[in-house]
Amino acid sequence: KSPDQSSAMLSFALGVRVSPETIVNGTVGIGLTEDAPDISLGLSFPLDILGFNKKQK
């Protein structure tokens, strides 16, 4: 029989527009239980697919 595990993490996220066409998203997570990682960091740059959801001029 395997031991029981439980994991909890508190995460905060922030999105910042660094230019009219670019957004940067950052996340920080703090582990709340022994089974969770102590800290988690993330950084993402959402992609814009050319022609997708663009408004016509």
- DSSP H helices in the chain: none
Residue 56: pLDDT over 90 = no
pTM: 0.67
Whether 50 is in a domain gets the answer: no
> Could you give the CA distance from residue 17 to residue 56 in angstroms, rounded to a whole number?
22
Is residue 57 domain-resident? no
In a domain, 55, yes or no: no
Look at residue 24 in the predicted model and tell me its pLDDT: 95
Tokens of 31: 């582990």
30 lies in some domain: yes
Residue 54: is its pLDDT beyond 90?
no
User: In this structure, is residue 17 part of a structural domain?
Assistant: yes
